[in-house]
Chains A and B, each alone.
Chain A
Amino acid sequence: MANKSQSKNIPTLTGAEIVWATLAGEGVSTVFGYPGGAILPVYDALRKFPIHHVLVRHEQGAAHMADGYARASGRVGVAVATSGPGATNLVTGIATAMLDSVPIVCITGQVSSKLLGSDAFQEIDITGITLPITKHNFLVSRVEDIAPTIRKAFQIAVAGRPGPVLVDITKDAQQASAPFDFAAAAPAPHRPHPMLRAETNSIEQAIELISAAKRPVILAGHGVLISEAESQLLAFAERRHIPVASTLLGLGAFPTGHPLALGMMGMHGESWVNNAIQQSDLLLAFGMRFDDRVTGTLATYAPHAKKIHVEIDPAEIDKNVRADVALIGDLGKVLDKLLPLVPPLDRVPHSSQSYRDGWVPTEWLREIAAMKGDASVRDIINLPDNGHLYAAHVIHDIWSEAKASGRLAQTIIVTDVGQHQMWEAQYFRHDTPRTLITSGGLGTMGFALPAAIGAKFACPEKDVWVIAGDGGFQMTAAELSTIQQEHISINIAVINNGFLGMVRQWQEIFYDKNYECTPILSPDFVLLAAAHGIAGTHVAKRSDVIPTVTRARTSGHPFLINFQVEKEDGVYPMIAPGSALHEMVRRPAADPLIETSEAE
């Protein structure tokens, strides 16, 4: 066997070396991890391979970094951890990637196979724990299985609907040796997706519905970005004059300045977006899953609309909203097939350019425009400076500064979870795919800082901003140290209102202003940054926002800005849980500020 291997020029490597060799073969150049006993053989072998390892401060950070790396680049992110607590610390990050369909591969060390099941030191059944939060996971206890399993994991992570895969490798498998043949370890082709509802006339039915629709709306989800179907989406919308509403994770898939762009739908979407959906007669759901945050109460969701659901995951069809026509497959490919069959509307221009000149909106688009009403008057962004600093202003100014500097398309915003996340979605206009990275499905606080580090490694040439609340930022603030150890430049905007703001807002509206456990004491974030050797400053005045943002962006080093914003500000519009999509709580007009502005 050994002779045979040598004759084919196949080296014999240890399991640990095979791990790195396989990762390198899969094109991995950066991994995020934390060493420990059961993964030590792998770490010992690292120096022989051209792979950069980022030492994190907590394994949750490693999973989020792999996630941010994957979302920013579209490539598979890799996290490495040891057995037991190292592996369990990954869990939140894996679940985050699962809920948002992000391809990551997590490699964990495991106790030696002879100790499995004996409650050995730092032994935990991580494949059991992560079973429902991974696309698939593996326990590898034979050295020969390492390369094929890691290659299979990469295949599974990106196949169909992407997601996380975990490979748990016992220590004895890492220490044993086996011939390493990367090519021979290639997995068989992944099972194709079954066309569970591929009635031959589905496409025809879809075309019929599209042709008959008078009030259609496209719902653009994360699938547009994952499938890289932005150009098909644009062409499709323009061909039939169909307005495009985006989910949170779909932001960036459609240019915000386009006359057909509606903006974000759902719980904190603008009223006209949700009203347009409620009044539409055809919803074209492109790579989205009708999450409860975008539908409101299902019983009253878009009651007059037929639904065409284009989705790669058959298990999403009819899960929440019954589809009249389901087209299962990769969005870009389905749209490629559909597009030439869709009859163009008369007098519809055929390029984005012609949209800007001499374009006559359809009656439906004029109706939607009329729905906007006084929304823009109520919008805080249009109110005069009253000496208070509002988070909306901060977000808007970070956006306008990036735009003015010509760096907008090269600016990636990574948000945490909460009020600032929604304000970011409302006030930062994303025109470029993969420029907003946010935890949508799981809503993981503490996501922003580590995910931003991952994004920076994926796109070192881009400006990466963390926008985080004072609560979430403290959950993973230890990764500031990782930034410094890695000499990378990330800008951090802490939106500091002294509260766990989104929870406080719910307490304000639904719990009679009983602010139980939501006021949060924070350290001086500028001093905290300084302790890590990171420059920073406080901003409490609107006029200081843009100059400070410019200073941060041009400093060439990481920079933290603590924005001391209005304490009891709320995110509006808002749909209360259990309400219909059109039953929005509007921006409070009772606010004296608004009365002033309306009096003007």
Chain B
Amino acid sequence: MLHTFVALVQDKPGVLTRVASLFRRLSINIVSLTVGESEQPDTSRMTIVCEAPETAADRIRASLYKLEITVDIDEVGRSEAVIRELCLIKVAAGPSVGDHRKDAPSGLHSRSHVFELANVFRARVVDLAPESIMLEMTGGTSKIEGLIQVLRESGYTILEVSRTGRMAMRRGKHTSRVLQALGQANGIASKPKPGPGPKPKPTAAEIIPSEFPNLPDED
């Protein structure tokens, strides 16, 4: 199954190698990996999506945390987090496009049909050339794959696809279970309120705001 890990890591040379090397060592294929700056200085946030057995999640998380460069690590499920991906798609369409295949869209009409599809999928047209259109789309994986599939099924030639891979962020105030367990949230997550007795860990139902029951992948 697919696992999505969100890791807060030091922003230093070699950090990506250490993370990638760990997955190589565990013989686990990385489906996608995104890295960028985080809200904290000198730290980056990575979203790592990998294909691994269901039982492997704890061990991957523990192994990631074992890396000295890891500040925090969290595994997020689909329903607990907003998961997004950015995709750029270049499609062959426009006045200069002529296709010998029967039924393949060509000419000016081919362009307007792409506009329609983009509208339905809430993709944006970001570049227009005589022979191609570039679309930008943000969304869940299935939405992006849906657009690509519809374009193909409509006979369009897809010239280029570039995807960022998934980014994930846990919903609500709660960030990481590890940081919470450590009581080291340091302003990232609110510390458990002092009260009588140990506060039980929040369950998934408590973490997900009730106004978003079974929130679908897309908005």
Contacts and interface: CB of A to CB of B under 8 A. Distances in A.
Interface of A: 127-128, 131-132, 135-136, 139, 156, 191-192, 194-198, 200, 313-315, 317-319, 322
Contacts of A198: 181
A424 to B, nearest CB: 31
Given A135-B68, A156-B68, A194-B181, A314 B62 contact: yes
Given A127-B14, A315-B66, A196 B61 contact: yes
B63 interface: yes
B21 interface: yes
Contacts of B62: 194, 196, 313-315, 317
A322 B178 CA distance: 22
B213 to A, nearest CB: 27
A128 B58 contact: no
B181 A314 contact: no
Interface string B46-80: 00000000010011011101111101000000000
Q: Describe B's contact surface by its main secondary structure.
A: helix
B17 A128 contact: yes
B15 to A, nearest CB: 11
B41 interface: no
Contacts of A314: 58, 62, 65-66
B196 interface: no
Given A135-B68, A136-B68, A192-B182, A197 B58 contact: yes
Interface of B: 14, 17-18, 21, 25, 55, 58-59, 61-63, 65-69, 71, 178, 181-182, 184, 198, 200
Looking at A127, A194, A319, the one whose CB has the most chain B CB atoms below 10 A away is A194
Given A195-B181, A315-B63, A131 B58 contact: no
Contacts of B18: 131
Contacts of B71: 191
Contacts of B63: 315
A407 B68 CA distance: 42
**Top 5 closest pairs, chain A to chain B, by CB:** A314-B62, A315-B62, A136-B68, A194-B178, A315-B63
A314 B177 CA distance: 15
A196 B178 contact: yes
A282 B172 CA distance: 42
Contacts of A317: 58-59, 62
Nearest to B73: A194
Given A313-B66, A315-B59, A319-B59, A132 B21 contact: yes
A200 B200 CA distance: 8
Nearest to B65: A194
Looking at B59, B62, B63, the one whose CB has the most chain A CB atoms below 10 A away is B62
Given A194-B62, A313-B66, A317-B59, 12 more contacts: A128-B17, A132-B21, A136-B67, A192-B182, A196-B61, A196-B181, A198-B181, A314-B66, A315-B66, A317-B58, A319-B59, A322-B55
A313 B21 CA distance: 19
A258 B17 CA distance: 49
A320 to B, nearest CB: 10
A55 B194 CA distance: 58
Nearest to A198: B181
Given A132-B21, A132-B25, A317-B59, A200 B198 contact: yes
B21 A194 contact: no
Looking at B63, B71, B200, the one whose CB has the most chain A CB atoms below 10 A away is B63
Contacts of A194: 62, 65, 178, 181-182
15 contacts: A136-B68, A136-B69, A156-B68, A192-B182, A194-B178, A195-B181, A196-B58, A200-B198, A313-B62, A313-B66, A314-B65, A314-B66, A315-B63, A315-B66, A318-B55
